[in-house]
Amino acid sequence: MTPAPTPGSKPAHPEVLRLDAITDKEHLAGAGNWLYKIPFRDGHAVLKGYFGNRNPLLHVKKTVGNVMLTGRTSHMPSARCKHERECVEVWEKHGFRCFGIYPEVIFEDLPEGQYLLFDYVPGLHFKNYFADDSVPVEERLDTWRRWLPEWHRRHKAAVEHSEPRLIHENGDVKHVMLWEGDFVYFDFEICFRSSDVRDLVGRELLAYLRSMGKWFGDKMYDLMMDEVVIHYPDKSLLMEGWAHAFENHNVAMRYARRLDYALKAKNKKPYSKYSVALDLKRRLDAASLTNG
């Protein structure tokens, strides 16, 4: 894939385009951002804009919440663009494949620093692949077993390098693709800032595991959880999923979470973060007794 640019750098010889001159663009999405698939060179690319779809006051409100309350980065359009670009660089530096960026392409009719042009990746999303009953279950589980060591390798690198940007803030099975026999990751516009990277690993673990139940149903969730307990290499790091919910490293947060679990009925539902954390611990404890 095309390497991500050095943050803040500008191309020496830019290729200048205009979005309003591209007539056969395909609109892909538009919530907080907008996405267009556009013809590019001998194929296609995806243009992502971080502006224009929300009231500016909402960006400010979300930024205050992110920065002051939840330990995330700013929600302002230029900040989200910057962080996505930086995260792609960090992930690819550590050997994780992302949507490549074309830093040499400039759109003269778009605000500088508020858009990125990505490779178009016609891959298969995890959320579709693992829910597809036309694919034999064992084939899907083989793919899952192949991915689990890579998942762990990223978590290990994040902890060893104290790098919160290696944790997927919007991480779940919707944001991983299968493509050309490899795994491809995307959606990095918001990042974590906390220095407690092990807790962030726990948070991401629960996010992915919860999304398995949501998208794949009880049977597939059960099979995939079995594989996680067997094939995720570092069981102490895996236990951070439970710790994030019930034994948070921050004492105040620990008791707040316990109170939250006790008082809200929705937290007892099968795929709440608390229920999945308890299920994870139960499985790890049972595996430990079996192996011990």
48-72 pLDDT, tens per residue?
Answer: 999 876 667 777 777 777 677 778 8
Examine the domain organization and report whether 75 and 189 are in the same domain. no
| Segments forming the whole domain that contains residue 253 | 124-291
Q: Cα(226)–Cα(224) distance, rounded to whole angstroms?
A: 5
SS3 category, 96? coil
Examine the domain organization and report whether 132 and 114 are in the same domain. no
Examine the domain organization and report whether 173 and 137 are in the same domain. yes
Give me the percent of the chain exceeding a pLDDT of 90: 80
Residue 12 has what pLDDT? Answer: 63
Examine the domain organization and report whether 110 and 144 are in the same domain. no
Examine the domain organization and report whether 128 and 195 are in the same domain. yes
Mean pLDDT of 74-95: 95
Examine the domain organization and report whether 151 and 113 are in the same domain. no
Examine the domain organization and report whether 72 and 184 are in the same domain. no
Examine the domain organization and report whether 90 and 228 are in the same domain. no
Backbone phi, psi, residue 276, to 5°: -70, -40
Residue 32 has pLDDT above 90, yes or no: no
Examine the domain organization and report whether 84 and 225 are in the same domain. no
SS3 category, 125? strand
Examine the domain organization and report whether 93 and 48 are in the same domain. yes
Structural contact between residues 130 and 76, judged by C-beta atoms closer than 8 angstroms: no
Mean pLDDT of 155-173: 96
pTM assigned to the model:
0.90
Range name among 42-46, 245-249, 287-291 with the lowest pLDDT average: 287-291
Residue 142 has pLDDT above 90, yes or no: yes
Residue 292 has pLDDT above 90, yes or no: no
Supply 198's token pair: 């092990």
Examine the domain organization and report whether 115 and 131 are in the same domain. no
Does 33 map to a domain? yes
Structural contact between residues 169 and 205, judged by C-beta atoms closer than 8 angstroms: no
In angstroms, what CA-CA distances link 193 with 77, 196, 256? 18, 9, 21
Does 3 map to a domain? no
Question: To the nearest 10°, the Cα dihedral for 204, 210, 212, 217?
Answer: 180
Does 9 map to a domain? no
Name residue 215's amino acid: W
Examine the domain organization and report whether 22 and 58 are in the same domain. yes
| Structural domains in the chain (count) | 2
Q: Cα(2)–Cα(131) distance, rounded to whole angstroms?
A: 31
Q: Cα(291)–Cα(5) distance, rounded to whole angstroms?
A: 47
Q: Cα(189)–Cα(202) distance, rounded to whole angstroms?
A: 20
